[in-house]
Amino acid sequence: MSKTLFEKIWEKHVVESIADGPDVLYIDKHFIHEVTSPQAFAGLEKRGLPVFRPQKTIATADHNVPTLHQELPIKEALSRKQVEKLTENCAKYGVELYGLGHPFQGIVHVIGPELGITQPGMTIVCGDSHTSTHGAFGTIAFGIGTSEVEMTLATQCIMQGKPKVMRINVEGKLHPGVVSKDIILHIISKISASGATGYFVEYAGSTIRSLSMEARMTICNMSIEMGARGGMIAPDEVTFAYMRGRKFAPQGADWDKKLEEWKKLKSDDDAVFDRELNIDAGDIEPMITYGTNPGQGMGISDTVPDPEKLQDESERNALRKSLTYMGFKGGEKMKGMHVQNVFIGSCTNSRIEDFRMIASLIKGKKKSPDINVMIVPGSQQVAAQIVKEGLDKIFTESGFFIRQPGCSACLGMNEDKVPAGEYCVSTSNRNFEGRQGPNARTILASPLTAAATALTGKISDVRELLNVNPA
């Protein structure tokens, strides 16, 4: 019987199926970080258990770390304690840790792929919902809660109901100035913040095939923002070229053997999906969000939707609430609005390609003096590569300062936050109320749109800076 890629990988990892219950799913790789793991280790300790397969878990510190002066002790006591607890737990249980100061440290979803730990066909979990990022390599990767982190540590398995499968086909050529972040924001705006709940998504089509691995990761990363359990893309030559020679990728004869297996990882031609969605790449503009969930997005030349025009009462109330929080009115254009902050970073857009893309835009131009900009590479390796390629000079000459790796202002947890009431055009993935700090107002966008905004001080259409005509 023909099968989807998702089903093939899932079935290979089922240890046991419980009648009218979940499957026991074997996990190949488990990533952990300081925020969602301490209670899991405490649970193990309480039960007197070791970590079952310590070589299959990798730890890093990313969510709650400063992005300036990482060489000094963390100032805030609770944050310091949380990071120290991770170090302590990893040492005690024999788990490899890429902590602060380690050359491999960084945002968990940036380091897994760049180190070659993430490999096609694997099952991967992490106590973080953006684990879906790893799906770009043709893996089943998804976020879990702390109880499930404990299960994985204790047994290398979790219990999961098998989700339904949806395919999203993106076909055609992208307009200049439109990048992968715009594709995913466009998809989420079409399907809504809950439209893929209960599904695992496979992204397919000629547009997806034409993207680099970094761009594919950006797309899979935001699968959770439409409610999907995860997102995946079948591996191909782009995937294999990216992986070859990476630190923990297979080498030599091992590589050849794996490659043969990986080449078979795709949905059968006649596989049936529970749902399919078709997107025309030519319809996509540079995107921005106007509301407080990632489904509330629009093309940069559109106007904010008017709640008073909505028929459904609960939808009307929801939109009113979002716009009140954001300080926007229905019918307004956002392009040209003054904003106080720009954040470039997060597991969505902090890879080397994002920095190359921004550097080519800002080269020879100057940052607007009216705007605060935070630029945060996803990992130590990305930070080192920026210097190696001389991109740091371009940033400095344009008046931008590059901070040290971490989740930074993506989540309003560590020192980096957006001040109350202020706007921030952000390359991260969530525009929830208070996500970047209490009462902060987040506008999600691509790295190009964020960089264009940093140059002008206003929400900008990057196509005008690139001298291409908005379609």
Partner 1 sequence: MNSKAISVVTSTAVPLNIENVDTDQIIPARFLKATNREGFGKNLFRDWRYIDNDENKPHEDFVLNQKKYSGKILVAGKNFGCGSSREHAAWAIKDYGFDVVVSSFFADIFRNNALNNFLLPVVVSDGFLHKLFTAIIADPSKEITVDLPSQTITLAGGDSETFQISDYKKTCLLNGYDDINYLLSQRAKIEAFEKSI
Question: Counting contacts by CB under 8 A, is residue 307 touching partner 1?
Answer: no
- Asked if 429 touches ligand SF4 (CB under 6 A), the answer is yes
DSSP state of 427: S
35 binds partner 1 (CB under 8 A): yes
Is there binding between residue 107 and ligand SF4 (CB under 6 A)? yes
Q: What is the Cα Rg of the chain in Å?
A: 22
Minimum Å distance from CB 413 to ligand SF4? 7
Which residue type occupies 442? Answer: T
CB 151 within 8 A of CB 43: no
Least Cα distance to 126 among 139, 114, 108, 111 occurs for: 108
Query: Based on CB atoms, which residue is closest to partner 1, 430 or 463?
Result: 430
CB of 429 to partner 1, least distance (A): 10
Query: Shortest Cβ distance from residue 442 to ligand SF4 (Å)?
Result: 12
Residue 280's DSSP bridge partners are: 171
**Residue 213 found at the interface with partner 1 (CB under 8 A):** no
Span 369-428, contacts to partner 1 by CB under 8 A: 411-413
Q: Supply the minimum distance, in Å, between the C-beta of residue 15 and partner 1.
A: 4
Query: What is the number of helices (H) and of strands (E) in the chain?
Result: 16, 18
- Structure letter (DSSP) for residue 223: G
Which of 58, 72, 183, 44 shows the shortest CA–CA distance to 108?
58
Helical H segments across 129-179, by residue range: 146-155
Which residues on neighbouring strands pair with residue 411, listed in sequence order?
A: none
Separation of alpha carbons 400 and 419, rounded Å: 19
Least Å from the CB of residue 436 to partner 1: 10
Enter the tokens of residue 30: 């488990």
Say how far apart CA 158 and CA 293 lie, in whole Å. 29
Is residue 47 part of the contact set for partner 1 (CB under 8 A)? yes
Residue 301: name the closest of 91, 469, 84, 56 by CA: 469
Which of the ranges 2-10, 157-165, 355-363, 391-399 carries the binding residues for partner 1, by CB under 8 A?
157-165
Site pattern 297..336 for ligand SF4 (x: CB under 6 A): ----------------------------------------
Residue 152 token pair: 């994985």
Nearer to partner 1, 156 or 207 (CB): 156
User: What is the pairing mode between strands 372-375 and 423-426?
Assistant: unpaired
Q: How far is the CB of 127 from ligand SF4 (least distance, A)?
A: 10
Applying CB under 8 A, the span of 10-18, 181-189, 365-373, 461-469 interacting with partner 1 comes to 10-18
At a CB cut-off of 8 Å and minimum separation 6, what does 263 contact?
235
Cβ atoms within 10 Å of 318's Cβ, excluding its own: 17
Positions that interact with partner 1 (CB under 8 A): 12, 15-16, 18-22, 24, 26, 35-36, 38-39, 42-43, 47, 49, 63-64, 78-79, 81-82, 85, 127-129, 143-148, 150-151, 154-161, 163, 193-194, 197-198, 224, 227, 229, 293, 314, 318, 321, 411-413, 430, 432-435, 438-439
Question: Applying CB under 6 A, which residues contact ligand SF4?
Answer: 62-63, 107, 109, 128, 130, 346-347, 407, 410-411, 428-429
